Amino acid sequence: MHYKGHGYEVSQRETKVFIFSPLDEPEVKAERAAVHAGVGYQVELVCVVYSEPVADVLWYKDTMLLDANGSRYMQKKGNRHTLLIRNVRLEDFGNYSCSASNMLGKARAYITVQGQYSSGIRTLQVFLCHFFWHQDALWSFCNYSSAYT
C-alpha cells in the first residue's frame, strides 16, 4: 500500500502534521457471481469497487467492451457500479465482467447471466369439422391435429 501526505506547519517551530490517505490499486467484488434471468425480463449486474485514487470502471460481455444503448444502462452510486439490462434477449445470456483501473493497477470481477429461454417452438392446434346432411339429419365429422412452428 502506498500513501500520499498533506503537511502544514502548526507553529513557527519546525513541527509539522501530516494526514495520510491510503493509495492502492482497485479491488473489485461482484455482488453475485451468477444472476438468473429470463427472456423479456430485466437483470441487474453489480460490482463494488474500492480504490484510491478513484478507478475507471468498464463493463464487458466476454471480451467485447459494452456501452450504454436502448436496453443497457450503466449507473454508479458511490462505489457500487451497476449494469442494467432491460428486456433480456437470448444473446444477453453469458459471461460479463467489470474492470476497474487506476494509475496503480487494475482488477476485474466476473458475473454470469444464466436462465431459461424459449426455444421458439409453439404448438398450433387445429380443429377441422365437416358438416353434411344424410337422411334428414345433420351429421358432423371433426378432425383434431397439432402442428409445431
* Res 123: pLDDT: 40
pTM score over 0.85: no
The residues, any chain, with a CB within 8 Å of residue 84's CB and separated by 6 or more, are 42, 43, 44, 45, 72, 73, 74, 75
C-alpha cell, 23: 493509495
pLDDT tens string 78-112: 999 999 999 999 999 999 999 999 999 999 999 99
CATH of domain 25-116: 2.60.40.10
Task: Find out whether 114 and 93 touch, Cβ atoms under 8 Å.
Answer: yes
C-alpha cell, 55: 478507478
Question: Cβ of 38: how many Cβ atoms within 10 Å?
Answer: 13
pLDDT tens string 25-65: 999 999 999 999 999 999 999 999 999 999 999 999 999 99
Gyration radius of the chain's alpha carbons: 30
Tell me the domain boundaries of the chain.
25-116
